[in-house]
Amino acid sequence: MQMLLNTPMTALGRRIAIDRNQNVLFDIVMFDNGPEPFNEDLMRVLRNGKMGYANKFGQIVIPCEYDYAKWFENGKAEVTYNAKEYLDLDEHKRFESDDWFIIDKKGKKLK
């Protein structure tokens, strides 16, 4: 399976990743003016409005079940099932939650 990251925006205004048969794999999380980069060989992705993680082959390796997920750093990422989105004073999107927890690169919740 091959993932194309620089796909054009769809008619619905979505940036998507597709496989070689043009099947939609997931929506791409945008960072600045382009697709978010891979961090520790994973990138955040969206499916049905929820976030998860995919590898460079376009395989979702951690299911899209989180309201918000942060980048992986040192093998760990903060995620939440209950996020509130808002714009800060500079009109950048921010996310808040009282329920953050940490997962490893297999999606296992850590203490």
Question: What's the confidence (pLDDT) of residue 15?
Answer: 85
State how far the Cα of 100 lies from the Cα of 103, in Å rounded to an integer. Answer: 10
Is pLDDT of 16 > 60?
Answer: yes
For the question of whether the overall pTM of this predicted structure is more than 0.75, the answer is: yes
Q: What is the pLDDT of residues 60-72, one digit of tens each?
A: 999 999 999 999 9
Q: Is 68 exposed, middle or buried (0-12, 13-18, 19+ CB in 10 A)?
A: buried
Is pLDDT of 93 > 80?
Answer: yes
